[in-house]
Structure formats: structure tokens, C-alpha cells
Amino acid sequence: MAVEIRIPSAGESVTEVIVSEWMKKEGDYVEEDDFICELESDKASMELPAPISGIITKILKPAGEPCEIGEVIATMEEAEAPADEKPQEQPKQEAPRAEAPKQEAPAASKSDNGSAGVAMPSAQRILAQKGIDAADVKGNGKDGRILKEDAEAATPAKYTEAARDSSAPQGPRSVEKVRMSPMRKTIARRLVESKQGTAQLTTFNEIDMSAVMELRNRYKDSFEKKYGIKLGFMSFFAKAAIDALKEFPQVNAEITDDGHLVYHNYYDIGVAIGGGKGLVVPVIRNAELLSFAQTELAIADFAKRAQANDIELEELEGGTFTISNGGVYGSMMSTPILNPPQSGILGLHNIVERPVAINGEVKIRPIMYVALTYDHRVIDGRESVTFLRRIKDCIEDPSRMLLEI
């Protein structure tokens, strides 16, 4: 009896997904729970497992086609594994019947770390066209799989060699038109809505990082030994932001469509992280209840899973305030964009030694520029400036956060 493979629910408010890759083809035998295709929504991507062990009899939706939740995209027939796919301890005997269609071979054999070096079907085609070995390409997919984007960004060795030779003729100047992914479309739409639907303004300040860096250097070894994770700067800024949000609750508020202000008496801090398929902002729930170690562990876990596109949809929803650290990429200063319906976002930047005047003398200190973008409909200039000043005071003298002064 035919078994229908349907698009499962992909989270609240998600009504449509795209079949980004078929990992199996018609006629392939698959075991129950083997992944047969990858689905991509405007919020995240996921892999669809086979509901039974059997043969894929029909694929109804090709890769790249949009599908509605609940729509049938393929059918399967329950069957036993072909003889050539069953594990045999004795040398395999010649089968009396025709051999079942074999699964499409990956572009490169699996390495010791699982799927690393294995190219998805669309990536295989692009790499083959470019003449690139999959073993030479770093994959950003789950378990190191090589995605279509990785293959598109890969550079053939002949072009690299030509670039080193100044006398070599100019390479090809082709143009490729690529469909935007649902996630990238959503990011673009939300950024435009954020700019058009709020009264955004940004205020800046600078922070002397000497005290935090000295404290971090003093305890980093014992901290890592006890908690199994390095002591970073994000936990300090998360704690400082919560301290400032308690003093200025309107920065932790949001404005509703009917003109009301909603003040949150909890602190769900979103942390902007560059994922495998774009920027994501997972949320640390009730961050005010977490220790420094718990905060660092939560951020590290999000960062790891974001690279593997393994963030759950519910982890991206909500949030009352956001912190974005462009400093990890070398940014000196920027104006972060609000993440509606939030009213504030804190932008961090790289730390650079700069000359500053201290007690009438010029000193070299590690300085970070920070930026607060806020919704002027909710927050006045005085509150925004003093909010950022409170964060500066907490970071330059961390004992303030302990003593709550």
C-alpha cells in the first residue's frame, strides 16, 4: 500500500516551505527515519525523515518548489531492503533478480567526522561544473555537509592560480541569478519593515574595557576549569544590559498596534548570531536568573547550533531586548537595526587600544565603541543616553552590578 509523505508543521505562523534538496530519488530504497529531503521555511530549515522502510515510488514536488503545510510531496511503498543493501558476513551471492536502483553517490566519501565532505545533490552539480573536488570545500551544513551556497562560493584552482599570476588574462565574467532563500527573504522584509515602521535613532558611547579585561584575565583559567567554558565578554554585557533595563524599563517595553505600551517584568535577551544560512537571533529566556557561566554556556550552545542550522523555531520567537556583537567581525562602529516589536538593541564593536585623557594625562586604553538603537516613539533621548551610560558604568566598574549601585 502506498504511503504518502506530507509536509509536516514547521512552527507557528509558517504556512509554506520549499523543498530545497532531495537526498533520495525515485526508485531508491530508504530505511525508516533516513532523511529523504531538506525543507526550508522563512525561519529555519529541517530534514524530513522517511516514515517507513521502503521504496520511493514517486516524487511529486521537485527541488525549489514551494509547498503548503500538509501537502503530499512523495509516495513510498513498504518493502524490504534489496539484497545488495543488506549487511552480509559471507561473500554476497549473485542475486537472481535485477538489482534495485542504487542511491546517488556523494561527490566525496565520508570523512571520519560523519557527513563532513559530503555534498548535497545540487552542490555536487555545481562542483562538477567548476571542476572542484568536494574534499577541498568546507561545508557549512549539518555535520559539515556541503550546501549549494558553499559550492557557489568555491573557487576553482585554475582561477586561484591565475589570480596569483599578474600576467594571466582576466578570468570569465559570468553572472548567475540565484533564487533568494525563504530565510533571506524574511530577513530582508523584516529589516525594511523595521526601518519603515519605527522611529529609529542611535546614540553612541565608548567604554574603557580595562577593568573587565583585567577581571577576565585574572579568573579565566579557574572559570574554565570549573565550568568547562571560557569566560567571554558577552556575559558581562548581558548582565550590564539587564541592570540598565531594570533602571529604564521603557527600553524593555514594546508598543502595540492599538497604541498601548507593554512593559515586560522579565528579561528575554536575544543574541544576534551569524548562522549557516543567515543571521538568527535566538533568545535567552529569563536571562536575569542565569549566572555568568550559564549565560556563556547558553550563548556558546546557540552559536554552535546556528552554524549547523539546528536552532528550533520557538528559540527564535519573542525576546524583549537584543545584543548584537559586530566586534567579532572587526566592526569599529555601526548602527544596529531594531528587531520589532522590541524597542532597543545594543551594538558592540571591536576593542582597540586608543589614547584617552585620564586625570590630565594621555593613557593608552582598550576602548570599545557601543551603540544603542531605540524606538523614539517609546524611549526619549534622555533615557537612551542614560541607559547607555549605565552600561558603560557597569562595564568600567563591574562591582557595581554586584552591589547594585
**Residue numbers annotated as active site:** 376, 380
Structure-block grid coordinates of residue 22: 532531495
Terminal CA-CA length for the chain: 71
